């Protein structure tokens, strides 16, 4: 009788232990799940807002970052090398699109940063504003049958803003200048508007920052497209 009583107590303790452990093993409660979901959503919202702000700030300043200067210079080299000599007819005659001054350059090129199909000719324009210490860049598809659009592009000002017909992107530089090799004078000219001939080389000089060294780069016109040195 005592043995049965002892076994009955042990079995009761085991059943009681299993019964007491049951609620602890049943998982999370509804309140806990709702609280965890709310906290996770709050964290995701904060991270998304911070990431969106960072992306907008980067997009707004990417063209004004001095570190973008060498990239713009590389783009210029590729565009000069891919010079496109297709002539356009204006009121005063027919000419290839290559116009240069000491602080500006306009040329037709087969290299674009915006065209959907690489190789499609575009007009590229560089303009250095010394008072702002900025190089402005713009491009548009080349349409030789509508010279009025080309004139509008040439005469557009960076001060027109985002709402203007031409959109400019800016890169900071303390100095920037162009020189054009004239084979007849055997020297670099500070201006080129000859409709019947083209320079052999374009020299670009500049200084990116206040405490950075001056640099110079020589670019051969049409070196990627050899026919670029001839006016059709």
Q: Where are the domains of the chain?
A: 16-61, 66-229
> What pLDDT sits at residue 66?
43
Q: Does 101 have pLDDT greater than 90?
A: yes
Which class for 55: exposed (0-12), middle (13-18), buried (19 or more C-beta within 10 A)?
Answer: exposed
Q: How far apart are CA 109 and CA 139, in angstroms?
A: 10
Which class for 226: exposed (0-12), middle (13-18), buried (19 or more C-beta within 10 A)?
Answer: exposed
> What pLDDT sits at residue 230?
42
**Tokens for 76?**
């210029």
Tens of pLDDT, residue by residue over 105-126, are 999 998 887 654 556 789 999 9
The string over 74-93, giving b where at least 16 C-beta atoms fall within 10 Å of a residue's C-beta and e elsewhere, is ebbbbbbbbbbbeebeeeee
Q: How far apart are CA 215 and CA 217, in angstroms?
A: 7
Helix (H), strand (E) at residue 203: strand 201-207
Q: Does 94 have pLDDT greater than 80?
A: no
Instruction: Kindly give the residue spans of alpha helices, DSSP state H, lying in the chain.
Output: 2-21, 30-61, 69-81, 147-155
CA-CA distances (angstroms) from residue 68 to 36, 137, 139, 193? 44, 12, 17, 29
What is the layout of strands, in order, in the sheet containing 122-129? 98-100, 104-109, 122-129, 134-141, 169-172
Q: Integer distance in angstroms from the first to the last C-alpha of the chain? A: 121
Q: What is the pTM of this model?
A: 0.66
**Tokens for 191?**
């201006």
> What pLDDT sits at residue 177?
96
The percentage of residues in the chain with a pLDDT greater than 90, rounded to a whole number, is 32
Three-state SS for 189?
strand
DSSP symbol at 110: S
> What pLDDT sits at residue 12?
53
Q: Does 61 have pLDDT greater than 60?
A: no
């Amino acid at each position: 009788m005592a043995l049965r009583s002892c076994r009955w107590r042990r079995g009761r303790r085991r059943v009681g232990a299993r019964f007491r452990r049951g609620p602890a093993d049943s998982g999370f409660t509804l309140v806990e799940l709702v609280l965890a979901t709310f906290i996770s959503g709050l964290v995701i919202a904060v991270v998304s807002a911070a990431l969106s702000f960072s992306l907008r700030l980067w997009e707004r300043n990417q063209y004004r970052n001095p570190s973008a200067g060498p990239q713009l210079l590389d783009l210029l080299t590729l565009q000069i090398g891919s010079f496109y000599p297709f002539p356009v007819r204006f009121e005063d005659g027919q000419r290839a699109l290559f116009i240069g001054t000491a602080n500006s350059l306009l040329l037709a090129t087969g290299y674009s940063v915006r065209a959907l199909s690489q190789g499609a000719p575009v007009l590229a324009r560089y303009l250095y504003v010394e008072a702002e210490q900025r190089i402005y860049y713009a491009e548009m598809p080349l349409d030789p049958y509508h010279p009025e659009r080309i004139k509008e592009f040439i005469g557009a000002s960076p001060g027109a803003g985002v709402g203007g017909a031409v959109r400019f992107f800016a890169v900071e530089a303390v100095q920037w200048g162009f020189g054009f090799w004239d084979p007849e004078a055997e020297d670099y000219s500070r201006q080129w508007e000859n409709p019947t001939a083209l320079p052999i080389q374009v020299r670009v000089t500049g200084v990116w920052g206040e405490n950075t060294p001056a640099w110079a780069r020589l670019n051969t016109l049409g070196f990627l497209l050899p026919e670029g040195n001839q006016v059709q």
